[in-house]
Structure 1
């Protein structure tokens, strides 16, 4: 593993397996420290290759050493499709990860797929507010948003994170915790997403970037590109935890244009 200086802790791996191993260890350590400190571990997932990487947690030693019963699992983004649809982030996570460990079913909070995307977003925000009320989720002292122990994000080749796309009006939301979009640049068009204030309130945020097609966006997201650069063109650049830690996990191909100063 190599590291670089930039916006956050930048970890660069020679192989996919090395990345998966380090990510599993990172998540397991956060889980242990959160459970010890608060009694819970609150984690928000996204989709894509991130879920397959979490498969390492289903293996020894983590399948036995992680206190899965203390996990509360939510989604930082979801597609407005049925839970058994191939595009569902919930289905991907359940099939590849959640069904293989002993996380309690009532600690997994998927989005209501029987409602319109707008109503589902409103209900999901209400669900999160109930978890705050129950003190499962703590609250940021900076902006009163929910403070997840860990939010896991994949960055797209256009620099988007969650369902927050370049120059999209959703990037400007300040009060909402959850919003919906109907015009995703990738199918399906209707999606639910955490807003930037919620992402930036987390204690820990991981951004995953793999593949040569992400290299340009990685450079624009983490390097010094000048004060005049419009960060909304690369939403990943707007990930800046206000009282937390940002860690990038990437392979050599995605990191090939990184020019951070040592």
Structure 2
């Protein structure tokens, strides 16, 4: 049975520390089990929060990591709107300086020559996913070891927005979107079935501006918010919140953080 575990911390910095420990343990367990660690990052403030302590953890074997993006904007890779650029600046560049790089062919970026045709970007990204999940022809959906997600004020996650047709996708691994309500409008995203087949899904939410959305998802189970539809079939979901984002939740919702 899938569990939802909610952790609240006094500051954003403490969220980063705990999240770094969580990711490190997930990496260790996955590498011990399968010889690799498959992780997908969202954008926004998440890469900075997730990587602040993670990048200096000397016990992580980053050479076994396969990095994906839970969603990506159809922009050039050096654009300030690129989720890849955020992860590069917060993690990948630091690892290069430490001579602990993730091999370049294990960082799955979009083909930015195709950015004016999002459907082709999605098709190309699917091929890259299938190259890593080698049994792609034998499985319905890939099983990521960890997907890191944020939420928007409207409860969107990845680039899955309220009332959007992409929420109804049943079979595709990755989909394109031309009409994102949030700029830029052209993106690709992992689909809800892929997110729900992950071994672990971790939401990372900080700031008082998100507290009503967090409450609507965790307390009120508001299914009009896409993040409420995340319920891993085999794995568990985790929420890493600061106290400002957790304020207003029922008293027994946040739990003590333990690995």
Q: TM-score, normalised by structure 2?
A: 0.90
* 1:28-78 deviation per Cα after TM superposition (whole angstroms, max 9, x unaligned): 00100100111000000110111001121122xx1x210010000010100
- Which residue of structure 2 lines up, in the alignment, with residue 169 of structure 1? 165
Shift of residue 252, structure 1, vs aligned partner:
1.2
Is 1:155–2:156 an aligned residue pair? no
Q: Secondary structure of 2:133's match?
A: helix
- Which residue of structure 2 lines up, in the alignment, with residue 68 of structure 1? 62
Number of aligned positions between the proteins: 244
Q: Following superposition, which runs of at least 4 residues in structure 1 exceed 6 angstroms of deviation?
A: 137-140
- Which residue of structure 1 lines up, in the alignment, with residue 106 of structure 2? 107
- Which residue of structure 1 lines up, in the alignment, with residue 79 of structure 2? 85
| Selected match of 1:98 from 71, 92, 98 | 92
Is 1:239–2:239 an aligned residue pair? no
- Which residue of structure 2 lines up, in the alignment, with residue 145 of structure 1? 141
Q: Secondary structure of 1:240's match?
A: coil
Is 1:132–2:128 an aligned residue pair? no
For 1:138 and 1:208, the matched residues in 2 are separated by 32
Q: Secondary structure of 1:147's match?
A: coil
Is 1:249–2:240 an aligned residue pair? yes
For 2:159 and 2:17, the matched residues in 1 are separated by 27
For 2:73 and 2:127, the matched residues in 1 are separated by 18
* 1:165-192 deviation per Cα after TM superposition (whole angstroms, max 9, x unaligned): 1111100100111001111111111111
For 2:123 and 2:211, the matched residues in 1 are separated by 35
- Which residue of structure 2 lines up, in the alignment, with residue 4 of structure 1? none
| Structure 2: gaps spanning 5 or more residues | 96-100, 254-259
- Which residue of structure 2 lines up, in the alignment, with residue 190 of structure 1? 186
Q: Secondary structure of 1:23's match?
A: helix
Aligned 1:9-88 pairs, distance under 5 A: 9-53=5-49, 54-59=51-56, 62=57, 64-88=58-82
Pick 1 or 2: higher relative contact order, CA cutoff 8 A, min separation 6: 2
For 1:183 and 1:84, the matched residues in 2 are separated by 22
| Selected match of 2:177 from 178, 181, 188 | 181
For 1:222 and 1:168, the matched residues in 2 are separated by 21
Shift of residue 82, structure 1, vs aligned partner:
0.4
Say what the alpha-carbon RMSD is for the aligned residues.
1.9
